[in-house]
Amino acid sequence: MGQNAKKLTGWPTTVLAVLGALAALVVVLLIFGAFHLPDSSTHTPTSALPSPDAPPFEFVYLDSLRVNSYLGQVEGGLSTSEQRTLQQTNTVSEGLNAGLSGGTAAVQYSNSQSLQEGTQQTVTATSADRFYRLLRLLREGSLQKCAYGRGAGASRWLWLVGVSADPMQAGTLESAIRCAGVGMFIRLTNMQLFLPPFAQVLPSAQSVTTVYGEAPWRRFPFTSATQSTKPADIARYVKAIGRNPRMPFIGAPFGSPSPIGGGGDNVTFFLPMAYHALTFEPSLLNGPVSVVGKIVAFAITPSKPAYIDYPTISAFGPALLKQSWAFDNRLGVCATAPPQAVLAKPNGAWTSATDQVQTTCASPHTVLAAIRQSVTVKAPYVVVLPLAIYQ
């Protein structure tokens, strides 16, 4: 009877010991967890962006100032460089136990030791790197669908519209442009670039196909106005233009036989660019390219007024008026078709000005009128301020 009493009176003490051991275990686990919770601040924002949908680009044109401006607005500023750290941690730890032995509670906790090895490097982003990232950010903003056409709702959170310039997709192209609207970004694929002869003669643009006269322009085979103009005259003209003129590029579906800029069913793209941002590799200008830029104006309905790019007239008009009429005629400024000497000939000889043009530049009025006709685009058209053009 006495022994049973001793057992009963001793049991609460043991229970209290076990509870104390468990309490100590909980405290140790809390301390352990406080110092070993995963750090969510190490998440890299780039990993949440869409993956690049194209290999690295070969740039035909890159406007680094606008790329930096748009990227800085999206990310709240740009750093001149960033640090990348690669770490490897090896951890050795002992077990953590709690138990009861001989009526006595015991708590054991472990110590952990870690060895960290890492490398750190400072990376400076180039303009191409920043455009590549900006393109991914714009694509992230385009994940939401846009309901366009009749009965369209208010779902217009579309940062980037991606369409092909293929004329067979005219209806889709029109719907996408209406959906995005002015101020949004567009990516056009399968594009071909064209220039009037007075701009195509510049050294970095001589591989672009030339358009002559008033729209709609025929798609002539590749021609170069330099073949019919003396180098000394061209050098004098280029000096009069200045180092960074506005280049009135015209974009149309690559390889299509349809005329350009004359309205109808085919959309014409007007792409004003800065000359200094063009590539130094001329072969890139003569093939299909992709264009990423900001929509600044468009007119889809044929009854809308035509678009006239007056800054181009101001950029090239004074320089052309300083040259002789013979120079303007050889250049084909007032021509409605390529001069004969511009077309490929075995001997490559220059011919007289009267044999090279169908319409002559005979006065300042005709010169300025010819420039105006070359930068007048009828609806449907879209004016896109290019950020980058690439293959």
Predicted pLDDT at 161: 77
Residues in CB range of 125: below 8 A, 6 or more apart: 81, 82, 133
Find the helix or strand (DSSP H, E) in which 93 lies: strand 82-93
Residue 26 has pLDDT above 60, yes or no: no
Tally Cβ neighbours within 10 Å of residue 390: 19
Cα gap 162→168, rounded to integer Å: 15
**234: enclosing H helix or E strand:** helix 231-241
> Alpha-carbon distance 150 to 185, whole Å?
22
Q: CA gyration radius for the chain?
A: 35
Q: How confident is the model at residue 44 (pLDDT cuts 50, 70, 90)?
A: very low
d(CA 255, CA 298): 23
Residue 172, pLDDT score? 63
Per-residue b or e along 219-248, where b marks 16 or more CB atoms closer than 10 Å to that residue's CB = beeebbbbbbbeeebbeebeeebeeebbbb
Q: What is the pLDDT of residue 43?
A: 33
| Residue 104: band (very low, low, confident or very high) from pLDDT cuts 50, 70, 90 | low
Tokens of 33: 């967890």
Between 326 and 386, the more confident residue is: 386
pLDDT at 352: 42
- Determine the Cα–Cα distance for residues 314 and 241; give it in Å rounded to an integer: 10
pLDDT at 237: 93
pLDDT score of 154 = 44
Mean pLDDT taken over the chain: 74
CA distance readout (Å), 176 to 28, 70, 131, 192:
61, 22, 23, 20
> Could you tell me the sign of the dihedral formed by the alpha carbons of 295, 137, 389, 128, in that order?
positive
Q: What is the pLDDT of residue 7?
A: 47
DSSP 342-361: TS--SS-----GGGT-SS--
- Better-scored residue on pLDDT, 258 or 309: 309
Q: Which residues contact 337 (CB under 8 A, 6 or more apart)?
A: 212, 213, 218, 220, 358
Q: With a cut of 50, say whether residue 35 has pLDDT above it.
A: no
Tens digit of pLDDT for each residue in 334-359?
888 887 666 655 554 444 444 444 56
Cβ atoms within 10 A of the Cβ of 385, count? Answer: 16
User: Any residues with CB less than 8 A from the CB of 54 and at least 6 apart, and which?
Assistant: 290
Portion of the chain with pLDDT greater than 90, in percent: 20
Tell me the residue ranges of DSSP E strands in 15-78: 59-62
Higher per-residue confidence, 161 vs 196: 196
Nearest to 184 by CA among 234, 230, 233, 148: 148
Query: What stretches of 196-274 adopt beta strand conformation (E)?
Result: 209-210, 246-253, 268-274
User: What's the pLDDT score for residue 126?
Assistant: 75
User: Do 258 and 168 touch, CB atoms closer than 8 A?
Assistant: no
pLDDT at 27 over 60: no
Considering Cα of 313, then 317, then 319, then 325, what sign does the dihedral take? positive
Helix or strand or coil: residue 41?
Answer: helix
Query: Average pLDDT, stretch 248-269?
Result: 83
pLDDT tens for 161-172 read 777 766 545 566
Q: Is 16 helix (H, G, I), strand (E, B) or coil?
A: helix
Res. 236: pLDDT tops 80: yes
The model carries a pTM of 0.72
- Return the top range by mean pLDDT from 75-89, 173-187, 207-221, 309-323: 309-323
**pLDDT given for residue 295 in this prediction:** 92
Question: What is the rounded distance in angstroms from the CA atom of residue 64 to the CA atom of residue 277?
Answer: 8
